[in-house]
Structure 1
């Protein structure tokens, strides 16, 4: 199946992405704000990339759906302020992205950067500069390695903008670590095969909230399962009321959140929920299931290492339910208005 192959070979693609970014030169951004934008998976990518970029560079950022750039421009763009718009699209042909870039074209205060897996497209032509990841060519409808590689490319871009050799060297190790993570393709299979769990909740905070939203979308796309995502500690403020024995919660833990994560897990378990924790946790961390990730990469840069487990969970659940992950219901690879 294309989806499985594209999940399992993404470490190789990450190595190429590193080489692409390592050989690119970028002008130093002199703007008031950097806006990251996309649709669907690419918008969730934008959400994580924006928070990561701000943490690395100290520049003010935000993430917005591409459609809002042309539908509600005045709520996002302030006249006379300088912006960099980072537009993200796997295909480079997503209607809303192209409409947004065309809508903003000609504004002397706005520069644009396209991040895409398809350089020869209207999106790339409309942007001032392009990060081309043409080596990432997915046949599947759902985005897997394209999400990981475009996010990784933007993290490398942030390190270059900040002149941060420490972050760049940290990120240089990511492809090898992802390759190791992919050797355990059954790390989430027990939960994927458990049909007593009919409701899934994904939790992540900070720049990892975009990953939680993307994991939710992957499960919805491949399996039509009822699932939601929240910022981790926000889950207690109302949504936790739906937890029962049919609920599986997947928590993306970080070194800086682990002390709070343990108490949250216990609260969910007391209500009957089943909790899978993914992250750099210690052996004494208590949960129903764990996928332990390396602590040799900082929270700031570890995002790509979470993706294999999250993508495999959706794929394996689809197979268990008898769905074809390569042909999800009601979806096409590109959405055009």
Structure 2
């Protein structure tokens, strides 16, 4: 299975991404705002990357779907302000990204950075600067290691732009931590194989909300399972009404959210929901299942460590239901208008 192999080989690829970004140099022209943009999975990546970049650099950011840049420019671009647009596309050929970059090409107040897994593409030709991860060459339709590595590359880019030695030192450790996280699939597989769970909810806040949305998309793409994602504490405001014994909730726990995670889990379980918590939690944390992740690096540098578990839930669920993860229904590797 291409999908499985690409999930399991992520640690080695992350190391190659680290080695590549460590040597790259970038322009640091002053801008008023950085806009991160993509489509589908790449937009969810942009959502996380924008919040990480703002946290690390102190620079104002936003994440927007690529189509918004050419359909509704006036809602995003203020005349007289300077922007950096970070376009994200695995293939480098996604139609809306190309249209967006063409739309802003040549505008004096707009700089562009392309992040892709393929050099020599139209996207590269349109951008002022490029991060091309040519070592990522997925055969699967769904994005797995490409998502993880492009996000990791943008974390390294953020740390370099801020000259943050602490963040760079923590990110240096991520490939080894991911390798360790990939060593045990038992919790993931047991939940994925439980056919009594018909509805899946992914919860994550801050820069982890993009990961929750991506996990939802992976499960939907591979299995057509009914699934949704929410910002963690927002889940109480209406959506919690759908929780019952057939509901599985996957909470992306963080050090920042520790004071609130336990009570949220208790509320969900009191309604019959089954909760898998992924992240750093205290020893006596009460839930159904836990995948413990390291607390030795901070929240804004730990994202890549969550992704293998989230991707493997979708993969093992697909296998359990008799789907082929390599051939998701109605999908192709590149979407072109």
TM-score (norm 2): 0.99
Q: Does 1:21 align with 2:18?
A: no
What is the distance in 2 between the residues matched to 1:187 and 1:276? 9
1:120: which partner in 2?
120
CA-atom RMSD in angstroms:
0.5
Q: Does 1:190 align with 2:190?
A: yes
Structure 2 gaps, min length 5: none
Compute the displacement of 1:80 (Å): 1.2
1:235: which partner in 2?
235
Compute the displacement of 1:53 (Å): 0.2
Question: SS of the counterpart of 1:312?
Answer: helix
Runs of 4+ with deviation above 2 angstroms: none
Question: SS of the counterpart of 1:188?
Answer: helix
2:219: which partner in 1?
219
Compute the displacement of 1:29 (Å): 3.5
Compute the displacement of 1:67 (Å): 0.3
Aligned residues: 337
What is the distance in 1 between the residues matched to 2:101 and 2:24? 22
2:245: which partner in 1?
245
Correspondence list, 1:34-45, <5 A: 34-45=34-45
Question: SS of the counterpart of 2:250?
Answer: strand
Cα pair 1:278 1:293 within 8 Å, conserved: yes
1:83: which partner in 2?
83
Cα pair 2:187 2:289 within 8 Å, conserved: no
Compute the displacement of 1:186 (Å): 2.7
1:164: which partner in 2?
164
Cα pair 1:252 1:277 within 8 Å, conserved: yes
Correspondence list, 1:1-337, <5 A: 1-337=1-337
What is the distance in 2 between the residues matched to 1:170 and 1:28? 22
TM-score (norm 1): 0.99
Deviation string for 1:121-167 (max 9, x for gaps)?
Answer: 00011000100100000000000000000000000000000000000
Question: SS of the counterpart of 2:46?
Answer: helix
What is the distance in 1 between the residues matched to 2:115 and 2:29? 16
What is the distance in 1 between the residues matched to 2:158 and 2:313? 29
What is the distance in 1 between the residues matched to 2:309 and 2:286? 19
